[in-house]
Structure 1
Amino acid sequence: MSDRIVHIVDDEAPVRASLAFLLMSAGFAVRAHDSGPAFLNAVGDPAGVCLVTDLRMPEMNGVELLEALAERGMDIPAIVITGHGDVPMAVAAMKAGAIDFIEKPFEDTVLIAAIERANAMADARGDQGPGVAAIQQRLDQLTGREREILTGIVAGLPNKTIAYDLQISPRTVEVHRASIMSKMQAKSLPELVRMSLAIPKR
């Protein structure tokens, strides 16, 4: 396990307490903050730090927090926690530098695994899964229809909306979605989004 300190940023006290208890029980050193600005004021050296932040917060949302870190040149492995339906915002967070996002509700083990993965990626510095060439090879295997559906998935659209836009059935979208996950060798939606964002737009 990495010895990075996990900083939790969430405006709801019960959530902060619950996450802190969970992560301390799992052996992590934890600090909790009630807002993005509070975290920015508290964190000094970004080395040895990992961030778990809620996406929707009143004073400064998760995307704005990541943008503020980038402006300061602080390279901190970050995971965003998002409510159902916030996938477009979560994608924006990944564009702003988040390593992963987790949709609520989630199992405790999912968050712990995400933190361990983020820490390992940050410690390895550059060992972040398949390279652009490998991802492009997988992308080239997709049919035209699968590429259209992938665009909808990365935009955070639900299957029903994608189906309506493409004038196909939601069941057909599900079948294509499964095929996309298989061809891209993606184990989860965040991983699929991460790979899609790695390909430079032409």
Structure 2
Amino acid sequence: MADGYRLVIGNKNTSSWSLRPWLAMKEAAIDFTEIRINLRAPDMKDQILAHSRAGKVPVLWAGDTMIWDSLAILEYLAEQHPEMALWPSNIEARALARSVSAEMHSGFQALREHCPMKLLAREPKDDLIDPVQVNIRRIVDIWTECRQKFGGSGPFLFSHFTIADAMYAPVASRFKTYIRDLAPFGDDGTAAAYIDAVFALPAMAEWSDGARQETAA
């Protein structure tokens, strides 16, 4: 690629959609130039429009090709870098990984609205409304099913890190911020261990360091 990759992202403490492709690229050792936009800046919209006509982050530039939307970026990367196995190789596992990734992409509106990503915060809630509780139970079920069916040889949803893990990493952050204990939501320990595995990733530590630097500035 003549000009390499440029990934345009938002604030690391709060931009859940930015985290997804950033984390995948770091874990897959795909080189890129990071362009960070302060989503609280008065001219934020103009800054974003300088990189994307869609007016949102993240945006991936691959040379002169623009890809926007997190899942579209991840699919593009999987196609361009098949050697990194960003989707599982097993066809059944890959079908499940795509399904749960798409469900995350389009669903869980109550969780998003009432529990926005605040990576560095610890604000446990004891009064979650019913739609949020339904979302949490469904996510715990997803994680448990993936781990039981395809997670036998590693700590992630499909054993090794995949796009599905990139899609659910911000959810792991939300649970860490807002949920004291996942057991009341049906967790047998699988979901809690999965959250620990996500946060043990060196790339998650790097992202978290970036969030701390932003909030300290």
Common fold by TM > 0.5? no
Bigger RCO of structures 1 and 2 (CA < 8 A, at least 6 apart): 2
